[in-house]
Structure 1
Amino acid sequence: MIRFHFFEASDIKQFNKYFIDYINFGGYPEAIFSESVRENPQRFIRHDVVDKVLLRDLPSLYGIADVQELNSLFTTIAYNSGQEFSLETLSSQSGSPKNSIKKYLEYLEAAFLIRIVRRIDQSGKRFKRDNFFKIYLTNPSLRSALFSPIDPLDELMGAMAETAIFSQWMHRQNFTPYYARWKNGEVDMVGISTKNLKPYWALEIKWSDKYVKEPLKLKSLLRFCKENSITQALVTTINHYEVKEVNGIQITFIPSSTYAYTVGLNTIMI
C-alpha cells in the first residue's frame, strides 16, 4: 500500500484552532497582530477589498460602470463560496443580464478575488456546454469579513474548509482543478492529467470524522474512482488521520487543516 506524505500536527485540536483563524483572518496578517482589527475585521477588510478593488476606478478599465451591481454580485458569491452556479441563476438572482454577469465574473477573477472551477462528468470528460460551474473565493477570510467570523460548529464550516483548501491549490500556476458532478453524484476536486486528459486523482472535502468509520458512504467518490481506474483517493476530516482500503481503492483520511497546510507548503517548495 502506497502512502502519501503529509504534515502531521502533534496537537490537531490546537492546529484546527489555527486553521479557523486562517479561515477568518488568514489573508490579512494585520488581523493576527492587531487586536483592534480582530475585534472588527469587517471594517478593515471591507475597506481594503470593497473600497480599493470593487468601488474605485479599476472596474472601469473592464468597462464596468455599475460598481454597486458588481459589489452586489461579489457579496452573493462570497456568501455562497464553493456552490455551483450558472449564468442563468446569477442573472435571475441579481436582475442583471447574462452578458453583464459574465463581464463581472471576468473582472473578479482577474482581480484574484474569485476562481471559477469547471465541471466534468463521471467519466472525467468536460461538458460541451459549460452551463454550470463552481465559484470559490481566493481567500476564505473575505467571507468572514463581509458577514461574520465562523467557528468549528458553524453549519458553513464545511464550505469554508473547502474554500480554504481550494485557495491553497489556486497558487499552483500549472494546475487546474476540476470538480465532477453527474445526476446522482459529485466529487469535490479532481486532477486531470496533462498527458492523456484523464482523471488521475480525486479528493473529497469533509468537515466530519464519520466517514472514517463509514467509508462505504463515500459512494460518489468510490464510483468515480472505479470508473476512471483511480486506485488512490483523499478524504479530509476534522481530526482523524488514517489509511484504509475500500473496495480496492486506497483512501487516505487526513484532517482538513493539515491537508491545506501541506498543499500550501508544497506550493512554496516547488
Structure 2
Amino acid sequence: MLRQIIAEALGSGADPKSILYASIDAPVYSRMPLEKFLSFLPDAKETGIIIFDEIQYLPDWEVHLKDLVDSYPNIKFIASGSAAAALRLKSRESGAGRFSEFMLPPLTFYEFLLFSGVDEQLIEVDSRSDRPVYSAREISVLNERFIDYLNYGGYPEAVLNQEVRESAEQFIRNDIIDKVLLKDLPSLYGINDITELNRLFSVLAYNAGNEVNLESISKSSGITKPTIKRYIEYLESAFLIIKLTTVDDNCRTLQRERNFKVYLNNPSMRAALFAPVKTTETDKIGHLAESAIISQWQHAIAFRQLRYARWRNEGEVDVVYLSGADGRPDWVGEIKWSDRIADHFAEETRSILTLIQKHKSIRSAFFTTKTTSSVTELDGRPVAVTPSALYCYTVGRNVTSQLSMIAFPELATKVSAA
C-alpha cells in the first residue's frame, strides 16, 4: 500500500526527487534520527512525501516525528509499522492534533474473494435498487471458499502467494502472532511472564465466539483476574482479539462485567494456533463464522456500538447494534452455521422475538444459516434469514464501500417507510 501511494503520487506528476521511502528496520538505519533522512531529499524542504516503514524500531520515534511535522509543515509524513499497539499508544501520547491514525483491519471475505479472482464467479449482483443486493450463485461452493477464508483468508500474503498459503499456519504463527506476543507487547508494556500471556491468548483463541467468564478463565489458566483483565486490554490494543460487552434484555450494560465475548481479530489465527478447520467440524465453523462476521464490522466507525445480549432464563442474542445518544437498539441478529431454523423457526428466534417485542426501536433483524435463506417477519419487523457466508460477504462489501453497517439495509427501509 505504501508503494501504491508512491505510484499514485508519481502518476499525479510529483517529482520523484521529492519522495522518500525508508524501512527503519534495516540495520543501516539503526538509531538514525529521522531528520537525517531529509538530507537525502535536498529539494523536498518545501514540499514532498516521506514514508517511514516499521517506524517502531526507532526509539522515541514519536518525538522525532512530532518535531519533523512541526518543522516541515509542507511535507507529508507517513509512518507505518506492524506493532499496532506501540504505534497507537505512542501516537496518541505525542501526536495529539498532529497525527492522523489509520488502522488496517484484516481482509474482509469480500476482499478475499476479490483478491482470489473468484468474486464474480460466486456472487450475483442485483443493482436495480439504490443499494445492491448480493446472492450466491451456488451456496455450497461459496461455503467452501468461506472455510478457506476462515483458515487463511484474512492475510493478503496468504491469499496472493501460493508458497505462503501452503504454509499459512507457520506464516501466521511465526510472522504475526509470535512477533506480537513475544516481542511487541512485552517490550511495550514491560511484560515479564511471556508464557503466561501466551497461555491466556491460546485459551481465548480456542474459545473464540464463546462467552468468557473471568472466574472460570482464572481457574483454568492459573492467572489472577486482575492480570487477565490487563492482558486482555493488551491483546485488544494489539488487534489480536475483539471484546464484545454484554447488555441485558433492557439493552443496558451490566454494572459489574462478569461475562463478555471474545472474538479473534482475524479468524485465521485459530487455524495457525491449533489446526485448520474441516468442513465436517460444524461447531468449530459456527464459532469461527461468528468471529469472521464480527471482524467484518471493524471497517466501520460504528463498530463500537456492537454488543451482545444475555439475560436470565437463557435468553441470548449474538449481535445488538445500539444507535443514537440514548443507546437504543436499532437492529439485532443471530449467527449460526445450521439450517435448523427452517423446521424450528419459533424456537430458534425466541430470544430475538423477546428483544423485538420489548424494544420498538428495533427496525430489523437477521438470522444466519448454513445454506437456507428467506425474508420473514417477527412482530411486524422484517427478518433476513441468509447463509453465514453470504451475510459475511455482504457485510464486508457494504462496510468497505461505506454503505451501511446492516448487511441488508433495505429491510430497515421497509420498516421506516411503513
Q: Same fold (TM over 0.5)?
A: yes
Aligned to 1:226: 357
Answer yes or no: is the 8 Å Cα contact 2:337–2:369 preserved in 1. Answer: yes
Counterparts of 1:12-51 in structure 2, within 5 Å, are: 12-51=139-178
1:211 deviates by 0.5
Answer yes or no: is the 8 Å Cα contact 2:246–2:310 preserved in 1. Answer: yes
Answer yes or no: is the 8 Å Cα contact 2:185–2:234 preserved in 1. Answer: no
Answer yes or no: is the 8 Å Cα contact 1:212–1:242 preserved in 2. Answer: no
1:36 deviates by 4.2
Counterparts of 1:1-270 in structure 2, within 5 Å, are: 6-154=133-281, 155-176=283-304, 177-183=306-312, 184-217=314-347, 218-229=349-360, 230-270=362-402
Amino acid at match of 2:190: G
Moved more, 137-146 or 224-233: 224-233
Amino acid at match of 1:153: T
Answer yes or no: is the 8 Å Cα contact 1:235–1:251 preserved in 2. Answer: yes
Instruction: Assess, with a 3 A threshold, how the Cα gap between structure 1 residues 257 and 127 changes in structure 2: closer, same or farther.
Output: same
> CA offsets, 1:118-170, max 9 Å, x none?
00001111111112111110110000111111123212111011011001012
Answer yes or no: is the 8 Å Cα contact 2:356–2:379 preserved in 1. Answer: no
Amino acid at match of 2:307: Y
1:252 deviates by 0.9
Amino acid at match of 1:63: G
How well do the aligned residues superpose, as a CA RMSD in angstroms?
Answer: 1.8
> Partners of 2:183 and 2:244 in 1: how far apart?
27
Structure 2: which 5+ residue stretches go unaligned? 1-130, 403-418
Q: Match of 2:271, SS?
A: helix
How many residue pairs get aligned? The number is 267
Answer yes or no: is the 8 Å Cα contact 1:186–1:220 preserved in 2. Answer: yes
Answer yes or no: is the 8 Å Cα contact 1:144–1:150 preserved in 2. Answer: yes
Q: Match of 1:151, SS?
A: coil
Amino acid at match of 1:179: Y
Q: Match of 2:229, SS?
A: helix
Answer yes or no: is the 8 Å Cα contact 1:234–1:253 preserved in 2. Answer: yes
Q: Match of 2:318, SS?
A: strand
Answer yes or no: is the 8 Å Cα contact 1:215–1:246 preserved in 2. Answer: no
**Structure ranking higher on relative contact order (CA contacts 8 Å, 6+ apart):** 1
Computing the radius of gyration from Cα coordinates, the structure with the larger value is: 2
> CA offsets, 1:203-249, max 9 Å, x none?
10011122034311121111111111235210011122210124433
Moved more, 89-98 or 241-250: 241-250
Structure 1: which 5+ residue stretches go unaligned? none
> Partners of 1:24 and 1:157 in 2: how far apart?
10
Amino acid at match of 2:286: G
Amino acid at match of 1:158: G
Q: Match of 2:303, SS?
A: coil
> Partners of 2:212 and 2:192 in 1: how far apart?
24
Q: Match of 2:331, SS?
A: strand
Instruction: Assess, with a 3 A threshold, how the Cα gap between structure 1 residues 122 and 5 changes in structure 2: closer, same or farther.
Output: farther
Q: Match of 2:261, SS?
A: strand
Q: Match of 1:203, SS?
A: strand
Answer yes or no: is the 8 Å Cα contact 1:32–1:38 preserved in 2. Answer: yes
> Partners of 2:292 and 2:196 in 1: how far apart?
26
1:200 deviates by 1.3
> Partners of 1:59 and 1:69 in 2: how far apart?
11
> CA offsets, 1:62-114, max 9 Å, x none?
13111111111111111100111132222222111222112211110000000
TM-score by length of 2: 0.61
1:57 deviates by 4.5
1:35 deviates by 4.3
How high is the sequence identity, in percent, across the aligned residues? 45
